[in-house]
Structure 1
Amino acid sequence: MTPKNTQDLSDTQTAVETLRAALNSAGIVFPSLRADPASPALGLVELGRVGADVAVHLAKALEKEHRE
C-alpha cells in the first residue's frame, strides 16, 4: 500500500506536469512551478513568481479561452 503522502505528491506532481504542459502550449513559462515541498499532504502547487509580461500573456490566454 502506498503511503498517503507519497500518493498526494504523485497526484500533485501530475497536476504540476499537466499545468506546465498547458502553459507551454500557450507559450507561457512559470519558472518556479512545482509541487509545494512544505506541505506535501495538502497537495498544493506552487506557482511562484513571474514577470509582468508573463502575467499579461497568461491573462490574454485565459481571456481567449473564455471567449471561445
Structure 2
Amino acid sequence: MNTEERRAAAARIEEAEAAREDLREALDAAGVKLPSLRLDVPSLVSPMSQPLIDLGRCNLATTRRLTAALRQRRAELVAKVRAANKQSTSRPV
C-alpha cells in the first residue's frame, strides 16, 4: 500500500469513527445504548470497500427503546409534513 492509499484508508476510518460517534450521541439522546456499536474491522482493511459500522446485538429492552425512538421521530416528521401541506393548501394562489 502506497502513501496515497494509506492516507485514503486513514480518511475513511476517521469518517467512519465520526459517523459512529454521531450515531452513538443520537442514540444516547433518544435513551438508547447499543453496547456493541463499533467499526467493522474487516471492512476497514479492505481497500475496495467502504467502512461499515457494526451495530451489534442488543437485548429486548434496548430493541424496544430503539423502536420507540424511531417511531416517535417518524410521528413528529409526519405531523410537520401534514402541517406544512395543510398550510400550503390553505393559501390563496
TM-score by length of 1: 0.92
User: Which stretch has the larger CA shift, 38-47 or 55-64?
Assistant: 38-47
More helix per residue: 1 or 2? 2
The answer on 1:26 being equivalent to 2:30 is: yes
In structure 2, stretches of 5+ residues that fail to align are 77-93
What aligned pairs does 1:32-51 form with structure 2 within 5 A after superposition?
32-40=36-44, 41-51=49-59
Higher radius of gyration, 1 or 2: 2
1:4 is displaced (CA, Å) by: 1.2
- 2:32 maps to amino acid: I
2:64 match: 56
Distance in structure 1 (CA, Å) of the matches to 2:34 and 2:10: 24
Distance in structure 1 (CA, Å) of the matches to 2:20 and 2:13: 10
1:3 is displaced (CA, Å) by: 1.3
TM-score by length of 2: 0.68
4+ residue segments displaced more than 3 Å: none
Distance in structure 2 (CA, Å) of the matches to 1:36 and 1:4: 17
Distance in structure 2 (CA, Å) of the matches to 1:3 and 1:34: 21
The higher-RCO structure (CA 8 Å, 6+ apart) is 1
In structure 1, stretches of 5+ residues that fail to align are none
When the two structures are aligned, how many residues end up with a matched partner? 68
